[in-house]
């Protein structure tokens, strides 16, 4: 899969200045020549509790791109945890995937030792490119890990949150209480996208799907009553809802003018290339469900499992994403402001209230 930070994106050179400007507390970097581990842990905030955020394992165009990814993602995790009213701050880790074969278990055990060195400041979890088995390897070396195999797969909860978010956006923008015949274009059929599509079809939605892996996506033609769209045509597709569920940086000055939808609501992290791209969506009268709000179900699950909360309680909290988004949409309408700006305001209010 192509990394979202490859190419000529505007990645800052002075990371210390960037981190200071965005309010980060710490950046940790680890090299292990024995296993080939090259990893970064970015902690944005621990004001509300230990930083919680997933571990990515993917190729990057440069070390600079990997650090930037960790910094951006950790910042959004602080806001995500605050709006979800979880006792956590924001953190994120990335392991730079080598182009040469690696001993995966040894690699993740080494990363587990890295996490353990931080003495609970950061709790890791499954993310793009990592598996529950990877979390188990990490767990051999530290207790500061969520998403263990014994705790189950988080993707159904992440998908539930996105589904509820789409329902909220459709109710607010289209004034429809049902997803029957609502056309949703889903970009990226990974673990979350797969469950989301099933839920949408069960709700009576019309679904189009796209994935960068053309051979992989073709199998769904016979499995589901969906329309398969080439990945380079998904932005122009006329639909009600565009649901980005792959990697980030998909909403930018190149793609936003191509959109032919009324709503953007999906599972991907860091969907906006820059915060200012939320204004472009607002100016086009496209309702945007801020990514770190709508996709918070996975974090709610990880936190709930870490603290041994029952599934019913985690499900109830995940379903409440609907009400949080309606509050953001309503404020944005009243203030004539982009929804991502309003979400940031609301998150800052929550942090101030809980600190």
At residue 331, does pLDDT exceed 90? yes
Q: Is the pLDDT of residue 19 over 80?
A: yes
CA nearest to 121, candidates 11, 197, 235, 27: 27
| Rounded average pLDDT over 53-58 | 95
The yes-or-no verdict on residue 9 having pLDDT over 80 is: no
Top pLDDT among 15 and 55 is at 55
- Cα dihedral sign, 103-60-228-263: positive
pLDDT digits (tens, 9 = 90+) for 92-110: 999 999 999 999 999 999 9
Q: State yes or no: pLDDT of 6 exceeds 50.
A: no
- The whole-number pLDDT of residue 149 equals 87
DSSP bridge pairs for 53: 124
Catalytic sites, residue numbers: 92
Which of 29, 256, 169 has its CA nearest to residue 184? 169
Is the pLDDT at 4 greater than 60, yes or no?
Answer: no
- pTM summary value: 0.88
* Inter-helix orientation angle 339-354/63-83, to 10°: 70
pLDDT digits (tens, 9 = 90+) for 133-151: 999 999 999 999 998 888 8
Ordered by where they begin, the domains of the chain are 15-77+88-151 (3.40.50.10860), 155-354 (3.40.50.720)
The per-residue pLDDT for 154 is 87
Assigned token pair, 250: 């998909």
Comparing C-alpha atoms, which of 206, 208, 207, 209 is closest to residue 180? 206
- The arithmetic mean of pLDDT across residues 14-41, rounded, is 92
């Amino acid at each position: 899969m192509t990394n979202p930070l490859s190419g000529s994106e505007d990645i800052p050179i002075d990371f210390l200045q960037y981190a200071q400007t965005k309010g980060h507390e710490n950046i940790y970097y680890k090299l292990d020549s024995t296993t080939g581990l090259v990893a970064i842990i970015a902690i944005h905030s621990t004001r509300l509790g230990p930083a919680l955020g997933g571990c990515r394992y993917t190729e990057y165009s440069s070390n600079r791109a990997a650090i930037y990814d960790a910094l951006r993602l950790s910042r959004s995790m602080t806001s995500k945890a605050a709006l979800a009213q979880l006792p956590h701050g924001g953190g994120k880790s990335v392991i730079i995937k080598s182009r040469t074969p690696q001993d995966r278990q040894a690699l993740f055990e080494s990363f587990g030792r890295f996490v353990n060195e931080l003495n609970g400041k950061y709790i890791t979890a499954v993310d793009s490119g990592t598996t529950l088995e990877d979390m188990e390897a990490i767990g051999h070396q530290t207790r500061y890990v969520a998403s263990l195999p014994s705790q189950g797969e988080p993707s159904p909860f992440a998908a539930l949150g996105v589904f509820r978010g789409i329902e909220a956006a459709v109710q607010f923008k289209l004034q429809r209480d049902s997803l029957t015949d609502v056309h949703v274009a889903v970009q990226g059929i990974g673990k979350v996208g797969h469950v989301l599509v099933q839920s949408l079809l069960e709700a009576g939605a019309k679904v189009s799907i796209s994935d960068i892996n053309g051979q992989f996506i073709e199998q769904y033609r016979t499995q589901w009553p969906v329309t398969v769209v080439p990945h380079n045509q998904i932005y122009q597709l006329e639909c009600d809802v565009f649901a980005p569920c792959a990697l980030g940086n998909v909403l930018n000055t190149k793609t936003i003018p191509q959109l032919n939808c009324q709503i953007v609501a999906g599972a991907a992290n860091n969907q906006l290339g820059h915060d200012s791209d939320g204004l472009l969506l607002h100016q086009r009268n496209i309702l945007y469900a801020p990514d770190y709000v709508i996709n918070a179900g996975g974090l709610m699950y990880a936190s709930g499992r870490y603290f041994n909360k029952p599934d019913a309680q985690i499900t109830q909290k995940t379903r409440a994403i609907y009400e949080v988004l309606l509050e953001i949409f309503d404020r944005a309408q009243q203030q004539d402001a982009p929804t991502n700006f309003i979400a940031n305001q609301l998150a800052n209010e929550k942090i101030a209230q809980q600190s």
